Amino acid sequence: MDLAISSARVLETSPSTGKLSPQALIDIYRLMYLSRRIDDREILLKRQQKIFFQVSGAGHEAFQVAAALALRSGYDWFFPYYRDRALCLTLGVTPTEMFLQAVGAGTDPASGGRQMPTHWSSRPHHIVSTSSSTTTQLLHAVGCAEAGRYFTRHPEAAAKVADDYRAYQDVEFHGDEVVLTCVGEGSTSQGEFWEALNTASNQKLPVIFMVEDNGYAISVPVEVNTPGGNISRLVANFPNFHFEEVDGTDPEASLYAFQRAAEHCRAGHGPAFVHGHVIRPYSHSLSDDDKLYRSTAEREADAMRDPITRMQMRLLRENILTTEQLTELEHSLDHEAAEAADRALAAPLPTLESIPLHVYSEHLDPVRASFATEQAALATASTGKSASSKGAAPRTMADLINACLHDEMRRDPRIVVYGEDVADASREEALAEVKGKGGVFKLTAGLQTAFGSERVFNSPLAEANIVGRAIGYAVRGMKPVVEIQFFDYIWPAMHQLRNELAVMRWRSNGAWGAPAVVRVPIGGYLTGGAIYHSQSGESIFTHIPGLRIAFPSNALDANGLLRTAIRCDDPVLFLEHKRLYRETYGRSPYPGPDFAIPFGKARIVRPGSDITLVTYGAVVPRALQAAQAAERKHGIQVEVLDLRTLNPYDWEAIATSVRKTSRVIVAHEDMISWGYGAELAARIADELFEDLDAPVKRIGSMDTFVAYQPVLEDAILPQPSDILKTIVDLRAF
């Protein structure tokens, strides 16, 4: 039977001393020892090839048990890392559940066999799914705390609403919850560590940063990672923080440190930083051998500080337990660990049919028919009945994206909008006399003025911070709609996008999701944008399962697709071509506040019978120019198909058109080699070979970078003349 220990009982103090009672010390030792024995049992199973990986929390047990006992499972929120076995055990994760993850069982509640052992996740205990990445979870913790504060101030926002993502999220908040996030000392060299501290400090968020300092990052000692060898000294000047540095092998001292930290956070004074000096008596993992880089003397010194040994000695020294009682207790815990392992080894494996489950939300697919309001809205608009107070004059893509954001923020109080320069003015006292910034392209203009600084605000200049916090917001039930200022600078956020945002639902086997929207201006054709303001690269992101990607070519599509992105239950990368923001091409009247376009539905921009031209983004108007010239000069009828979304994409529309024309060109702005068009061309050649009368042709930019000089830029990027030449050549084949 799995061991369950009451934290209330553990926290009992002795009336005479004010210190922990003997029974409390026994219960703490039980948790510490059981955690160690689970590690040891996993090591044995790995050597027997019954499990496939092992990383231990040995030496960290006292510090972790103390942290969990100072907080409330299922009330506070937890973003641990892979050594936090004793923390999660104390919060209520059972030994059997831990072994189920090590085995990779189908009944593993953390991931269903998808994650390595000790990659924790538990909705009942508010342990948010964690990854192997280091420090990414710190930014999730910050966003989680921001969301908790928002719901506390606006409890009405927690209400469920049918037909959008809010119908499927249970929002929990209490007003004084604390968020704990844990990291090894070696990971404090990561930039996201500092980004998380910056935001927590600035906003006085109730986050406890728990640093478990065992002196090593695999084989790299602390003095190599950290100037001066002590992270507490480096962070000591952050304002609003409560700081604790403690011997992490002493559970009682650690407990009091965490209690003080939690009190500081619950009182609304700001975040806390608890730095515990622990040991690592085992190697980094079973894939490592610390004897290769640690001296015998150093390892022996660590052994003298082993928290298990120290606690054993204390229980005996203070006559809390006799030697026989201690031995009996340990034998019972050994038996508990062995029984739990046996149960897990007998558990069924995941089915192969389960593999694709939870890559995307099963609740609210953005392809679903409820998002298909396009034709009805267009029909109404053609009669003039939907002009609304916003007027019926054609408006730019920038205008209609801004209108959609206004509409959705008015409809959904859970939406927050932030990014670099997106606010009208961070200093609110200036709003009365200034027009406001509202983004470098003005797409968020007026949002802060309309909805307040709590919902629309500027972020630090840190892209990982923007996306990482969005994940924390989203797992708590908010809808962050964030902006990366230029696609060219998205790369610092790649870790968060690829390893966290896109995979959250799949790796937790559907327990957690992060349906954030990340808006990104993209592309060239700017005249002077050059290397660092003209990049494309959408194919890098279409290669990421779990991430929906939209790339509209005109104002109306941008409005409808963004609305779908916001209302759906998946993370969305929403690519907005900068050149199209204010182009004459593609302007449209405002379609109304409920206009939506389902993902994965291409649009025939121009019908034709001779050649299919598949494209998207800023190449759509250029393809139209080429198609018009082909008909006018050569009598060639080109069908131009605008994909509108890249994941999912409309294969049926492509196949239907190609079967009709028997010739196809795939055109995009990104480099031709290894671009998005290569995948489409390969699938067309594979599945539609018998329908083709000519090779599949591709058009893209040169395999180089976009130059500053306009003559060079025009030569590098695909132009209407390039498309026309390919059309003529293909027709003549």
Tokens of 540: 């890098």
Helix (H), strand (E) at residue 182:
strand 179-184
CB 526 within 8 A of CB 534: yes
Alpha carbons within 13 angstroms on the beta-carbon side of residue 182 total: 32
Dist CA 644 CA 599 (whole Å): 8
Quickly list H helices, 476-554: 494-496, 504-507, 538-542
Distance, in Å, from the CA atom of 592 to the CA atom of 400, rounded to the nearest integer, reads: 10
Query: From CA 517, how far away is CA 514, in angstroms rounded?
Result: 9
Instruction: Please list the residues that pair with 572 across neighbouring strands.
Output: 517, 548
User: In whole angstroms, what is the distance from residue 521 CA to residue 304 CA?
Assistant: 57
Residue 231 · residue 289 · CB < 8 Å: no
Task: Give the C-alpha distances (Å, rounded to integers) separating 253 from 186, 270, 317, 588.
Answer: 23, 22, 18, 66
Cβ–Cβ < 8 Å for 359, 114 = no
Is residue 315 within a helix (H) or strand (E), and if so which, with residue range? helix 307-317
Nearest one of 463, 707, 668, 717 to 551, comparing CA atoms:
668
Distances (CA, A) of 481 to 423, 440, 471, 539, 550: 13, 16, 11, 22, 14
C-alpha radius of gyration, the chain, whole number: 29
Q: Is 533 a catalytic residue?
A: yes
Lookup: tokens for 154: 């606006």
Strands (E), 590-644: 603-606, 611-615, 638-642
* Annotated catalytic residue, options 358, 533, 577, 668: 533
Distance CA 57, CA 130 (A): 15
List alpha helices for 48-135, DSSP H: 61-70, 85-91, 95-103
**Which pair of structure tokens corresponds to residue 429?**
């006292």
CA dihedral of residues 78, 79, 82, 87 (deg, nearest 10): -20
Instruction: Give the CA angle between residues 292, 294, 297 to the nearest 5°.
Output: 130
Closest by Cα among 92, 86, 53, 96 to 345? 96
665: phi then psi, degrees, rounded to nearest 5: -125, 135
Cα separation values, 370 from 196, 232, 413, 599, Å: 38, 53, 21, 11
Are 377 and 589 in contact, with CB atoms under 8 Å apart?
no
> In this structure, what are the phi and psi dihedrals at residue 613, rounded to the nearest 5 degrees?
-120, 110
- How many other C-beta atoms can be found within 10 angstroms of the C-beta atom of residue 375? 8
Cite the active site residues: 533
